[in-house]
Structure 1
Amino acid sequence: MCAAVYVLSTVTGYVLTSALLLKCPNLLHRKKRETFVSRHISHRGGAGENLENTMAAFKHAVAIGTDMLELDCHLTKDEQVVVSHDSNLRRSSGLNAQICNMPYAELPPYLSRLGVTFQKECYCEGGEDKRIPLLSDVFDAFPNTPINIDIKTNNDTLIQKVSEMVVQYDREHLTVWGNASNQIVKKCYKENPRIPVLFSFSRVLQLLGLFYTGLLPFVPLKEQFLEIPMPSIISKLEDPNTITRSQRFMAWLADTLLMRKALFNHLTARGIQVYIWVLNDDEDFQRAFDLGATGIMTDFPTKLKDFMDRNGMSNPQ
C-alpha cells in the first residue's frame, strides 16, 4: 500500500513538474538568443512568382518585405557553391547531368517554365533571369537579409565552403542551415557551431517522442529552428481520387502529431523558432499562425504579404 502511494505521488509530481516546465521552460532553460525573427519566408525565393532560386526571385521577395530567403546549395566540379534545389539539372534545365560533374561556367540556364512543387498544376513562367546564381551573389546582394540554407548533399567541402562564406560575409547572426539528414546537420554544427542549425528529420521524431512522454521540458536542445510541413496540405497537392484511405489516415495522423500549439509555444518560449512549410493559401496561413508558428514558408510571397497586411501582422526584423 505504501509503495503504491509512493509511486502515485512520484508520478503525480513528475506530471505536474513536466506540465509546469512545458508552459514555463525558462525556469530550467535559458532562452536562446534570437538575432532575427522571421514570419514571412520566401521558399526558393518565391517559386510561384519567379523562377525558383534565381536572383530575380530573391530581389522580388526582398522588395516586398520578406523576412527571410530560403534557398538550396550544391557544389560544382570546380568547387563553386551554387544555389539550386536539384542535384540533377534535368527538371530545372532540361539537361540530364549532375551539378557536381560540371564546372560553374558550363551550367545551363533554367528552363523558361518550371512547375511549382507545392502548388497543384501550377507553373511559373520566367523572365530574363534564368541563371543559376552563386551563393556569394546572394550574400553580396542581400547583406542584411536572413537566409535559410538547405545543404542538399552530404559533402564536407560544400559544408566547409558555406561556413567560410558565412564567416567572410559576417552572416553568422543572419543564417540558419541544415538538412533533413541528421548526418549533414551534425557536420554543419561541428564545422561551425555559431551558425544556428535546423532540426533534422530524425531529431523531429525525437522531439515528438520527448513531447508526448513529458520529457521535453527537461532536455536541452542545440537546434534553434524547427521547420516542419503541414501534412494536411497533401489533399491540395494530390488528386483526391488517387489518395488511398491509408494515405489519408497517415496524413491525418502526422498532422495531429505535428501541429501542436502546446509544442510550438514551448519551443518559442525557449527561443526556438517554428516554421511551417510550404503553405500557399490563406486558410493554411491562418491555421499556422493560430497554432503559434513563428513563421510561414511560401511559394507566393506577395500572397502571404497581402494576408499579413490584411490581418495587421507586422514583420519583425
Structure 2
Amino acid sequence: MYIKKWGKKMGSKTKVGIAIAATGAAIWAGSKVISKPEKRPVKPFFEGEKPRVFAHRGGAHLAPENTMAAFRHAAELGVDGFEIDVRLTKDEILVVFHDRFIDRTTNGAGRIADYTLEELKEFDLGFHFRDLQGAQSYRGKGEKIVTLQELLEAYPDKLINIDMKEDPDTYEGSLLPSKLWRLIEKLGVEDRVLITSFYDEQIDRFSLYAQGRVVVGAGENEAKKAFSLFKSGFGHLYHPRADVLQIPTKYGILPLDSQTFIEFLTSLNIHVEYWTVNDVETMDRLLRYGAHGIITDRPDIAMQLIAHDES
C-alpha cells in the first residue's frame, strides 16, 4: 500500500531520473558481458626484481641533470636505471637533454635544435647547478652534453627510460621517433629501453617502427582514458595501448595514487611508476600500494628505503 502511494506521489523528474539510472545500469551490465579486459603481454624489460628505482635525469638534486656525473653517481647508488629526455641537434643527433633551450642548465643560450653536437659540447652543463649544500660544485668541472648513444654504451647493465620531448608538429619532432628507433635497432637494446612521451602522437609514430618490440609508456591522453574508465566503473572497457603508466601522484585535483587504481592497472599487466617523488613518506606509501617503480631526483633516499624494506 505504501509503495503504491509513494509511486503516485513521484514527480515526472523523479521518474525520469530512475529511468536514466536503470538505463545506465543496463548499459554497464551489458558492457560487462560483451567486453573482456585485455591484458598486455609482458616484455623482457620487466623481468627481474621489483620495485625499481629510476634516477630522474640521473638524479637531478645530486648532480647536474642528464650529465655523466649524474649517471655515474646514480649507478654507484645501485639504481635500476635512468629516466632521461631526448632531443635532436641541428645535425640530427639524439642528445640527452630536457629543455628546448640550453639557458637554464648551461652557460649558453638558444635552442638545442639550432646547435650542432660539436657546438653544444662547448657548453658547461654544471654551470648553474647547486648541490644540496647550495654550492656550485660542478661549475667548470667538464660536464658536457651527452648523446643517447654514449649513455646506452656507457651503461649496458642499466634500463633506460626515454622521454621523447620534441613536439610532433615541429621538424625535429617529425624526425625523432624514426631516429630513435634506428639507434635502438642499431645498438640492439630493444629489451632494456622504455619509450614514452607526453605526446600520444609521438608514441604512435614510434610504435609504427617498433611493432611491439619495445616497451612503450602511455601518453597524456592514454593515461587520462585509463583513469576515467577506471573511475567511472567502466574499467572493463579499457583496452590498453601502453605497457606502462608513468604518472604523478595527482593530476590537478585528481589523486592518481590510489591502491585500487594501481591494482586495476596491474591486473592488465600494466606497470605503474610515479614521478617525480623525492620524499621518503610518499615513496613508502606508493610502494606499499603496489607501485612498480619510483622516478626520483633523490635516488639516494629511494635506495635507502628499499634496502631498509628488504632487511
TM-score (norm 1): 0.79
Partner of 1:54: 67
Work out the CA distance in 2 between the residues paired with 1:133 and 1:61. Answer: 16
2:304 to 303, 306, 313: 306
Partner of 1:64: 77
Structure 2 unaligned residues grouped into runs of 5+: 1-17
Residue type of the alignment partner of 1:212: K
1:216 to 235, 249, 253: 235
1:113 to 103, 125, 128: 128
Q: Give the 3 Å change call, closer, same or farther, for CA 123–89 of structure 1 in structure 2.
A: farther
What is the Cα deviation at residue 229 of structure 1? 0.9
2:270 to 261, 269, 272: 272
Partner of 2:214: 195
Partner of 1:167: 185
Given that 1:178 and 1:200 are in contact with CA atoms closer than 8 Å, whether structure 2 keeps it comes out as: yes
- Greater than 4 Å deviation, 4+ residue runs: 7-10, 12-18, 121-124
Partner of 1:43: 56
Q: Give the 3 Å change call, closer, same or farther, for CA 10–81 of structure 1 in structure 2.
A: closer
Q: Give the 3 Å change call, closer, same or farther, for CA 203–212 of structure 1 in structure 2.
A: same
Given that 2:39 and 2:267 are in contact with CA atoms closer than 8 Å, whether structure 1 keeps it comes out as: no
Given that 1:51 and 1:126 are in contact with CA atoms closer than 8 Å, whether structure 2 keeps it comes out as: yes
Residue type of the alignment partner of 2:138: G
Secondary structure of the corresponding residue to residue 58 of structure 1: helix
Given that 1:76 and 1:82 are in contact with CA atoms closer than 8 Å, whether structure 2 keeps it comes out as: yes
Q: Give the 3 Å change call, closer, same or farther, for CA 168–87 of structure 1 in structure 2.
A: same
Given that 2:230 and 2:264 are in contact with CA atoms closer than 8 Å, whether structure 1 keeps it comes out as: no
Secondary structure of the corresponding residue to residue 29 of structure 1: coil
Q: Give the 3 Å change call, closer, same or farther, for CA 31–102 of structure 1 in structure 2.
A: closer
Counting only pairs closer than 5 Å after superposition, residues 5-44 of structure 1 correspond to structure 2 as 11=25, 14=28, 28-37=37-46, 39-44=52-57
Secondary structure of the corresponding residue to residue 162 of structure 2: strand
What is the Cα deviation at residue 196 of structure 1? 1.9
What is the Cα deviation at residue 190 of structure 1? 1.9
Q: Give the 3 Å change call, closer, same or farther, for CA 35–111 of structure 1 in structure 2.
A: same
Partner of 2:288: 290
Residue type of the alignment partner of 2:124: P
Residue type of the alignment partner of 1:110: L
Secondary structure of the corresponding residue to residue 45 of structure 2: coil
Of the two, which has the highest radius of gyration? 2
Given that 1:48 and 1:123 are in contact with CA atoms closer than 8 Å, whether structure 2 keeps it comes out as: no
Counting only pairs closer than 5 Å after superposition, residues 239-250 of structure 1 correspond to structure 2 as none
Counting only pairs closer than 5 Å after superposition, residues 135-154 of structure 1 correspond to structure 2 as 135-153=148-166, 154=168
Work out the CA distance in 1 between the residues paired with 2:145 and 2:299. Answer: 20
What is the Cα deviation at residue 123 of structure 1? 7.5
Secondary structure of the corresponding residue to residue 71 of structure 1: strand
TM-score (norm 2): 0.80
Given that 1:113 and 1:125 are in contact with CA atoms closer than 8 Å, whether structure 2 keeps it comes out as: no
Partner of 1:77: 90
Secondary structure of the corresponding residue to residue 11 of structure 1: helix
Secondary structure of the corresponding residue to residue 50 of structure 1: coil
Secondary structure of the corresponding residue to residue 54 of structure 2: strand
Partner of 1:243: none
Work out the CA distance in 2 between the residues paired with 1:82 and 1:132. Answer: 7
Work out the CA distance in 1 between the residues paired with 2:119 and 2:246. Answer: 34
Q: Give the 3 Å change call, closer, same or farther, for CA 76–31 of structure 1 in structure 2.
A: closer
Given that 1:56 and 1:129 are in contact with CA atoms closer than 8 Å, whether structure 2 keeps it comes out as: no
Residue type of the alignment partner of 2:148: L
Partner of 1:281: 279
Secondary structure of the corresponding residue to residue 215 of structure 2: coil
What is the Cα deviation at residue 88 of structure 1? 0.4
Output the aligned Cα RMSD: 3.0
Work out the CA distance in 2 between the residues paired with 1:289 and 1:68. Answer: 17
Partner of 1:130: 143
Work out the CA distance in 1 between the residues paired with 2:138 and 2:26. Answer: 60
Work out the CA distance in 2 between the residues paired with 1:96 and 1:275. Answer: 33
Work out the CA distance in 1 between the residues paired with 2:134 and 2:204. Answer: 36
Work out the CA distance in 1 between the residues paired with 2:82 and 2:117. Answer: 22
Tell me which of the two structures has the higher relative contact order, counting C-alpha pairs closer than 8 angstroms and 6 or more residues apart: 1
What is the Cα deviation at residue 197 of structure 1? 1.5
For residues 69-102 of structure 1, the C-alpha deviation after alignment (integer angstroms, 9 at most, x for no partner) is: 1111111111111111111011011322111111
Work out the CA distance in 2 between the residues paired with 1:123 and 1:268. Answer: 42
Residue type of the alignment partner of 1:11: A
Q: Give the 3 Å change call, closer, same or farther, for CA 125–274 of structure 1 in structure 2.
A: farther
